[in-house]
Amino acid sequence: MIEPRSRTPGTIDREIPTSLNQLYQEVILDHYRKPRNKGHLDEATHVITMNNPLCGDVIELMLRVEGGSIAEVRFLGRGCSISQASASMLTGRVLGKSLEQALELSGKFTHLLHGDGAMLSDDDLGDLRTLAGVSKFPVRIKCALLAWNCLEELGDATDADSGSG
Amino acid sequence: MAKTAETAALTDTRHATGMLATGSPSAAADRGDSGEASEDGGWDLAAIRAQFPILSRDVNGHPLAYLDNAASSQQPLRVLNRVERYLREQHANVHRGVHQLSAEATEAYEGARRAVAAHAGTGDAAEIVFTRGTTEAVNLVASSWGDAFIGAGDEIVLTKMEHHSNLVPWQLLAGRTGCDLRFVDVTPEGTLDLDDLDRLLATRPRLVACTHVSNSLGTVNPVREIVDRAHAAGALTLIDGAQAAPHMLTDVAKLGCDFYAFSSHKMCGPTGVGALWARRELLEEMPPYQGGGEMISEVKLEGSSWAKVPHKFEAGTPNISGVVGFGEAARFLADLGSDAIASHEDALKRAALERLDGIEGLRLYGPRDERTAVFSFTYGDVHPHDLSTILDQRGIAIRAGHHCNQPLMDHFGISATARASFYFYNSPQEIDALCDGLALAAEVFGGIA
Ligand SMILES: Cc1ncc(COP(=O)(O)O)c(C=O)c1O
Confidence of residue B449 (pLDDT cuts 50, 70, 90): confident
Q: Does A130 reside within a domain?
A: yes
Q: Where are the domains of chain B?
A: 12-23+30-50+337-444, 79-335
Read off φ and ψ for residue B139, nearest 5 degrees. Answer: -60, -35
Which structural domain, as residue segments, surrounds residue A101? Answer: 19-155
**Ligand 1 neighbour B131 (Cβ under 6 A):** no
Helix (H) or strand (E) holding B237: strand B236-240
As a whole number of angstroms, the distance between CA B49 and CA B1 comes to: 14
Average pLDDT in the B333-345 region? 95
In DSSP terms, which residues pair with B306 in a beta bridge?
Answer: B296
Q: What is the DSSP letter of B174?
A: H
Average pLDDT in the B299-323 region? 93
**Ligand 1 neighbour B405 (Cβ under 6 A):** no
Computed over every residue of chain B, the mean pLDDT equals 91
Does the structure show a pLDDT above 80 at A54? no
Q: Give the C-alpha distances (Å, rounded to integers) separating B370 from B56, B136, B350, B377, B385.
A: 31, 28, 12, 17, 28
Whole-number pLDDT of residue A156: 82
- Look up the CATH number of the domain holding residue A30: 3.90.1010.10
Instruction: Compute CA A134 distance to the chain's CA centroid, rounded to the nearest angstrom.
Output: 10
Model pLDDT for residues B264-289, shown as the tens digit of each residue = 999 999 999 999 999 999 999 999 99
Whole-number pLDDT of residue A157: 78
Note the CATH number of domain B79-335: 3.40.640.10
Whole-number pLDDT of residue A109: 98
- Asked if the Cβ–Cβ distance from B386 to A82 is below 8 Å, we say yes
List, by residue number, the catalytic residues of B: 404
Number of domains in chain A: 1
Q: Which residue has the higher pLDDT, B16 or B269?
A: B269
Model pLDDT for residues B42-73, shown as the tens digit of each residue = 789 999 999 999 999 999 999 999 999 999 99
Confidence of residue A14 (pLDDT cuts 50, 70, 90): low
Q: Cβ-count burial of B70 within 10 angstroms (0-12 exposed, 13-18 middle, 19+ buried)?
A: buried
Average pLDDT in the B86-106 region? 94
Residues of chain B with C-beta less than 8 angstroms from the C-beta of A80: 383-386
Can you tell me the ipTM of this complex? 0.88
Average pLDDT in the A27-35 region? 97
Residues of chain B with C-beta less than 8 angstroms from the C-beta of A78: 415
Does the structure show a pLDDT above 90 at B29? no
- Asked if the Cβ–Cβ distance from A6 to B16 is below 8 Å, we say yes
What is the separation, in whole angstroms, between the first and last Cα of chain B?
51
- Axis-axis angle for helices B428-444, B338-357 (nearest 10): 30
Does the structure show a pLDDT above 70 at B15? no
Whole-number pLDDT of residue B414: 87
Whole-number pLDDT of residue B226: 98
In DSSP terms, which residues pair with A38 in a beta bridge?
Answer: A75
- Asked if the Cβ–Cβ distance from A33 to B381 is below 8 Å, we say yes
Return the CATH superfamily for domain B12-23+30-50+337-444.
Aspartate Aminotransferase, domain 1 (3.90.1150.10)
Confidence of residue A87 (pLDDT cuts 50, 70, 90): very high
Residue B280 identity (one-letter amino acid): R
B266 CA to centre of ligand 1 in angstroms: 8
Confidence of residue B355 (pLDDT cuts 50, 70, 90): very high
Report CA torsion sign: B300, B303, B308, B312.
positive
Does the structure show a pLDDT above 90 at A99? yes
Does the structure show a pLDDT above 50 at B10? no
Average pLDDT in the A95-111 region? 96
Confidence of residue B301 (pLDDT cuts 50, 70, 90): confident
Pairing of strands B399-401, B417-421: antiparallel
Outline where DSSP puts E strands in B264-383.
Answer: 274-278, 296-299, 304-306, 362-365, 374-379
Confidence of residue A53 (pLDDT cuts 50, 70, 90): confident
Q: Which of B22-31, B67-76, B102-111, B271-280 has the lowest mean pLDDT?
A: B22-31
Q: What is the DSSP letter of A155?
A: H
Whole-number pLDDT of residue B3: 37
B210 CA to centre of ligand 1 in angstroms: 12
Pairing of strands B62-63, B58-59: antiparallel
Q: Cβ-count burial of B175 within 10 angstroms (0-12 exposed, 13-18 middle, 19+ buried)?
A: exposed
Does the structure show a pLDDT above 60 at B1? no
> Considering just the CA atoms, what is the radius of gyration of chain A in Å?
18
Task: Indicate the top mutation candidate among B263, B264, B399, B421 to test ligand 1's pocket, ranked by most ligand atoms within 8 A of CB.
Answer: B263
Confidence of residue B126 (pLDDT cuts 50, 70, 90): very high
Whole-number pLDDT of residue A13: 63
Residues of chain A with C-beta less than 8 angstroms from the C-beta of B386: 24, 80-82
Nearest to A16 among B415, B416, B444 (CB): B444
Q: Which residue has the higher pLDDT, B214 or B302?
A: B214
Task: Indicate the top mutation candidate among B165, B166, B376 to test ligand 1's pocket, ranked by most ligand atoms within 8 A of CB.
Answer: B165
Does the structure show a pLDDT above 90 at B79? yes
Say how many C-beta atoms besides its own lie within 10 A of residue B191's C-beta.
20
The answer to whether the beta carbons of residues B371 and B348 sit under 8 Å apart is: no
The answer to whether the beta carbons of residues B162 and B214 sit under 8 Å apart is: no
Residue from B386, B415, B427, B448 whose CB has the most chain A CBs within 10 Å, to mutate: B386
Residue-wise DSSP of B238-293: EEE-TTTTTTS---HHHH--SEEEEEGGGTTS-SS-EEEEE-HHHHHHSPPSS-SS
Model pLDDT for residues B205-241, shown as the tens digit of each residue = 999 999 999 999 999 999 999 999 999 999 999 999 9
Whole-number pLDDT of residue B41: 57
Residue-wise DSSP of B64-83: -EE-BTTT-----HHHHHHH
Whole-number pLDDT of residue B12: 37
Does the structure show a pLDDT above 50 at B116? yes
Closest alpha carbon within chain B to A77: B415
As a whole number of angstroms, the distance between CA A43 and CA A27 comes to: 29
